[in-house]
Amino acid sequence: MIKKIKFSFIGLCLIPLLYANASVAEPGTALKNDSLRTEPYADAKITGKFNRGDNLDILQKKGAWLQIKLNKNTGWVRALSVKRGTASSKSSSGGLQTLASGRAGTGQVVSTTGVRGLSEQELKAAKFNESEVKLLESYTLTPEQGQAFAVAGHLKTVKFSNLKAGKGDTK
What b/e readout covers 10-27, taking b as 16+ CB neighbours within 10 angstroms? eeeeeeeeeeeeeeeebe
Q: Three-state SS string across the chain, please?
A: CHHHHHHHHHHHHHHHHHHHCCCCCEEEEECCCEEEECCCCCCCCEEEEECCCCEEEEEEEECCEEEEEECCEEEEEEHHHEEECCCCCCCCCCHHHHHHHCCCCCCCCCCCCCCCCCCHHHHHHCCCCHHHHHHHHCCCCCHHHHHHHHHHCCCCCCCCCCCCCCCCCCC
Q: Name the least confident of 17-21, 24-28, 65-69.
A: 17-21
pLDDT per residue over 113-137, tens digit each?
666 677 788 888 888 899 999 999 9
* Alpha-carbon dihedral angle through residues 121, 122, 125, 129, given to the nearest 10 degrees: -170
pTM for the model stands at 0.44
pLDDT per residue over 134-149, tens digit each?
999 999 999 999 999 9
Please check the confidence at residue 171 and state whether its pLDDT lies above 90.
Answer: no
pLDDT per residue over 85-105, tens digit each?
776 544 444 555 555 555 555
Q: Where are the domains of the chain?
A: 23-87+108-128
Architecture of domain 23-87+108-128: Roll (2.30)
